[in-house]
A and B are shown apart, each in its own frame.
Chain A
């Protein structure tokens, strides 16, 4: 098998020349980004720079797109979102996207409707997050911010993803909880080989988890490299991330 055909050697996610706009308002222009299997990549950028738009682009959830998006080696242009998700991409959206009028268990079981084979089961989720097990029968609208985030991540895991995309999971969480979720939970998942694309505003946490970082500014990618390189570049950090 040649390297090009070998699925394990292919990037799980590959954007080339992706642009996106809402009506006449341009948000992304010429974004190119490859994510290899087992990588953990942080996507950073100021408020409103287009990080969520980028996430929506790869799920075809957003506005009109240009360029090419490949997921697991397949060109997904025009695919409905559910077909893209079935390739093995899990989403933890900004604001968590839990279904408040469903119980915790119902939220989780929705992810198992498709019955993709994989290592994650409801039992394993409840072992990993005992807090969710305690609240399994509660309506998820009554959960705390941290519990909601655990639920959103668990639900994504139950779709048995190879690539997990998270959009600002630390938003609105107490610092300890944010650290627990990003370094604890996601750290463990990444160490087990899950590919992670982490959109964050919390620079420190994101860069401690992800060896590689991508910085969005002015509609495009202005940095793509080692997290340590980014941290060392004071001017880049202050110009584009405002910290």
Chain B
């Protein structure tokens, strides 16, 4: 019982990271029809920021807003140049551009942060274990789950309950009409990209305590986030939630049951899912956020 609970919580903490990373990808894809393969770089940047911040002695909790800000700033600069010029281009062009950029960023980060695996010194408040039905479980993972939940709800409120969110949703369904109401949708797009990058950064900061930070993690996370978004159903919020849960659980439990072929098992399950439900778990009725 306790063992199962612990594995479920492990899966949930992984799902929380996938959710935050995947939401950033998915909102940009559904709103701007833009595929950003550099999204994993935002994640890894956030991880490095957290590693260094935790080591610096400054108040630990500021690591998360700092990681958000660093990635958001990178996103803002990239949005101006060159992303903006590629929103209307084909997906292939976007893939070539952003994949190329992600390779450059990987080199830059290796140069700046080194090639070794960096595990952050967790703040005291988040160190240690809690006993769940007599089985120890890292407190930090509970923190990740809670943070994923809180940020997920905040994001949902922002998109679903605010006027700004209404502008974003309206731009997804009819950009020209939003413009005809006097709203500058280019600024909306820029803001969404910055938010998406920031989310990538904050998930990296959260994930550092679980997955550490090292060259190559950016791509691993990107692939998982892409699978999350596709498995869930392109560009729906609920779909990304479902996708994050499915991928998180599939990977966690396949590592448990088939340690040698964990990835093969998990990805075959995803492929089967997509064959059965080509539109993902939550098929969008129309393009929406």
Tell me the complex Cα distance, A97–B170, Å: 10
The answer to whether A113 has its CB under 8 Å from any CB of chain B is yes
B residues 168-196 near A (Cβ < 8 Å) are: 169-170, 172-174, 176-186
- A61 and B186 contact, Cβ closer than 8 Å, known pairs A99-B170, A110-B166: no
The answer to whether A113 and B186 have CB atoms under 8 Å apart is no
Chain A residues near B166 (CB-CB < 8 A) = 99, 102, 106, 109-110
The answer to whether B177 and A97 have CB atoms under 8 Å apart is yes
The answer to whether A229 has its CB under 8 Å from any CB of chain B is no
Tell me the complex Cα distance, A59–B184, Å: 14
The answer to whether A166 has its CB under 8 Å from any CB of chain B is no
Tell me the complex Cα distance, A127–B189, Å: 35
The answer to whether B254 has its CB under 8 Å from any CB of chain A is no
The answer to whether A80 has its CB under 8 Å from any CB of chain B is yes
The answer to whether A81 has its CB under 8 Å from any CB of chain B is yes
- A110 and B170 contact, Cβ closer than 8 Å, known pairs A82-B182, A155-B181: yes
Tell me the complex Cα distance, A114–B185, Å: 12
Q: How many A-B residue pairs have CB under 8 A?
A: 74
B residues 5-55 near A (Cβ < 8 Å) are: none
Query: Please, which residue of chain B has its CB at the minimum distance from the CB of A85?
Result: B182
**Which of A81, A85, A100 sits near B173, CB closer than 8 Å?**
A100
Query: Please, which residue of chain B has its CB at the minimum distance from the CB of A56?
Result: B176
Chain B residues near A116 (CB-CB < 8 A) = 182
Tell me the complex Cα distance, A61–B173, Å: 15
The range of chain A's interface size is 20 to 34
**Which of A82, A101, A102, A155 sits near B179, CB closer than 8 Å?**
A82
The answer to whether A85 and B181 have CB atoms under 8 Å apart is yes
Chain A residues near B176 (CB-CB < 8 A) = 59, 61, 81
Query: Please, which residue of chain A has its CB at the minimum distance from the CB of B178?
Result: A110
Interface string of A68-108 (1 = CB under 8 A from B): 00000000000011100110000101000101111000110
The answer to whether B286 and A113 have CB atoms under 8 Å apart is no
Chain A residues near B288 (CB-CB < 8 A) = 101
The answer to whether B173 and A80 have CB atoms under 8 Å apart is no
Chain B residues near A109 (CB-CB < 8 A) = 163, 166
Tell me the complex Cα distance, A40–B174, Å: 28
Interface string of A174-190 (1 = CB under 8 A from B): 00000000000000000
| A-B contact list, 9 entries, CB within 8 Å | A61-B176, A93-B180, A99-B173, A99-B177, A101-B173, A110-B167, A113-B163, A114-B183, A155-B181
Interface residues of B (CB under 8 A from A): 163, 166-167, 169-170, 172-174, 176-186, 286, 288
